[in-house]
Amino acid sequence: MKLSSPMEIWEYLPGTNCEECGEKTCLAFASLLKERKKKLEQCPPIFKPEYAEKGKKLAELLAPEVSEVEIGVGARARKIGGEDIMHRHELTFFNRTALAYDVWDTMEEEELRERVRKITNWSKFYVGEFLRLDAVAIRSVSGDAKTFAGCVKDVAEETDLPLVLCSFDAKVMEEGLKEVSDRNPLIYAADETNWEEILEIVRTYNVPVTLFSSDLDMLNSLALTFSSAGVEDIVLDPGTYPTGEGLADTFSRFVRLRRAGIVDGNKGVAYPLIAVPMTAWMVHGEGAGNALEASYWEAIIADLFIIKYADIMILHSMEPHSLIPERTLVANVYTDPRRPVSVDPGLREIGNPADDSPLFVTTNFALTYYTVESDLSSNKIDSYLMVVDTDGIGVESAVAGGQLTAEAIKETLESYEVEKTVKHKAIVIPGLAARLSGETEDATGWNVLVGPRDSGRIPGWMDKNWPPETVS
């Protein structure tokens, strides 16, 4: 995106404030365009003849520096690429790194299906959401077209995840693709030896394609050839070499490609990038009795390229010590650094509270909320948890910054009619907000108890402080 502010975007909009986009003003719409929360197509007037020229120019200026490619279909389709920045603190990354875990066509059918189900169903609850995996990469190990096609068919029957079909043999690739051409799989890969056959396949089936070469001049040439032939959905693989100078050179190629696409504006290489950390198994593989070491190295390489700058990667190890750090890092890197992760304010029930159960207060910073909620529920403390809107800021910072105040607590009590839920008028504030106790009592008329500084100590605090005299 070549426009840096909503005002720059607004200059290209009709400026009529017609509200057809659902916003009250064109400037508000411009702000949402900048954040990619609205699409230009949602402004009908921009397509009228008098605004058409501006609209066309605006569409070009709003396009991300790195092209966006979608793989898969339906609810679990994944967009990759589409980034505008080199560094997360500059704005935010929009499309998180997609993690594709492999299966291969020499697996026994039941083993294959079980692994596909494991990839499809894997999830981990983390700061208010379930983390999941993104795709299945199907590798041709047999080199046999019919064997590969049968494997692809079996995988497709077990999952609705996007698929990555992996073979450098064009005949093998096409047989597999015939089974799932309607699923918009990513095919991997075309290189300098097979590009003509793969190009024909891509044009026939209209699917996204990966181009591979560790020579960046050759990679650029392949990209220009495919784009000139009308292929838009391109992913680049500059090679992932897992050790020594090979790894250092791999890192350099990823950075150079992303810099060329974003900083230098070289559209010839401004495509999503794929990394293949599972190449660690070529060096530290199971055959050498080093599966644990291989899984560690795979995770290290994956974490490196989640940060710099892989948009999708192919992985092998599903061991928790490997998979969980990878997926958690993706979640952390691809959150918006300008906005704290927050939950909705309100009154929550923990367990099965009665009208004489304790009422705790916390902020709507997600990490704080889920920590307190977990400590209460895991200790089976039937209670109410009142979440105050502090703009997603934690307790100590919100007290210092004025987001958590006696007035904010009062407003939350009133907004959610807490007085109708509990028969007592006792409220437990966090220990880190102790200095608000007196003014909160004055503002609300409630009896304020100061809880522990660490919610993990609530059970011990309850033994000594609940019920207070006003409740018993």
Q: What is the DSSP string of 46-114?
A: GGSTTTHHHHHHHHHHHS-SS-EEEES-GGG-EEEE----SSGGGS---SPPEEEEEEETTS-HHHHHH
Give the whole-number percent of the chain exceeding pLDDT 90. 82
pLDDT the model gives residue 289: 60
Burial of 22 (0-12, 13-18, 19+ CB in 10 A): exposed
pLDDT the model gives residue 472: 46
CATH 3.40.630.30 fits 6-62, yes or no: no
pLDDT the model gives residue 221: 97
| Domain boundaries for CATH 1.10.15.40 within the chain | 6-62
Question: Considering the chain, what is the average pLDDT of its residues?
Answer: 93
- Tell me, which fold does domain 346-465 have in CATH? Rossmann fold (3.40.50)
pLDDT the model gives residue 121: 98
Structure tokens at 2: 């070549």
Alpha helices in 230-365 (DSSP H): 244-262, 280-283, 291-307, 320-333
d(CA 427, CA 450): 9
| Domain boundaries for CATH 3.20.20.20 within the chain | 68-333
pLDDT the model gives residue 166: 98
Q: What is the pLDDT of residues 28-82, one digit of tens each?
A: 999 889 888 888 999 999 988 988 888 889 988 888 899 999 999 999 999 999 9
| Domain boundaries for CATH 3.40.50.11600 within the chain | 346-465
- Tell me, which fold does domain 68-333 have in CATH? TIM Barrel (3.20.20)
Low-confidence ranges of the chain (pLDDT < 70): 1, 286-289, 470-472
